[in-house]
Amino acid sequence: MIADDTTTQVKGVAHIETMWLRDTDGSRSLSIIPTYSPWPGLDLVAIENRPLAQGSKEQTLQAKIQISSARFQDCAAAWVLGITVWQKGDGPKSFFAVNGTCDIPVGSLYTSLVGTRDLQGRDVSSFSMTWEHQFGAWAAYIETVSQRTHKPYLGFGVRRDVVPGLQLEGMWGKQGGQPIFSLGSRYSF
């Protein structure tokens, strides 16, 4: 999902996510995302995104701080602070996000408001919203993203735990009339 939830890992728990993405222009990339929680309410995240057709890569470091915890049919919030280091010599780019999660009778609603600027100093903030619902062992979601410099995105996805600790996910969507799809995994330990 693009809109991140507000939960953090249990202290001492880690997971590794992978995502293969085919973007609107047909380019493909692979992301590897290890996450570790050294304290309750804090996740430390490293993201390596590598476009498969070129040698460049993007690395991001971020901290997610849970500022409130949710109860059933309640809402919670989290802050995310991060910096992206571009390996092509473009220099670092920092960002700040506020995530919200609300458990409602028909599922969960996730929102993310991300504030950042591009290398020219233009505001490229984004807002994303995801509605997710559990269907037995399956979770399905619908999501949308709005950003000033890009056309709106709308997509849907499904995920499922296949064995204890391993989750698989697939997503399909459209942005500006062009398809996007991804396959991902999450292994917790």
Q: Tell me: pLDDT of 90 over 70.
A: no
pTM listed for this prediction? 0.86
Average pLDDT on 136-157 reads 93
**The tokens of 135 are what?**
């269907």
At 94, is the pLDDT very low, low, confident or very high (cuts 50, 70, 90)?
confident
Tell me which of 59 and 86 has the higher pLDDT: 59
Q: Tell me: pLDDT of 54 over 90.
A: no
Average pLDDT on 137-143 reads 97
Give the number of residues written for the chain.
189
In this predicted structure, which of 90-99, 150-159, 162-171 has the lowest mean pLDDT? 90-99
Average pLDDT on 45-57 reads 85
Structural domains of the chain, ranges and CATH numbers in brackets: 14-188 (2.40.160.40)
The whole-number pLDDT of residue 70 equals 63
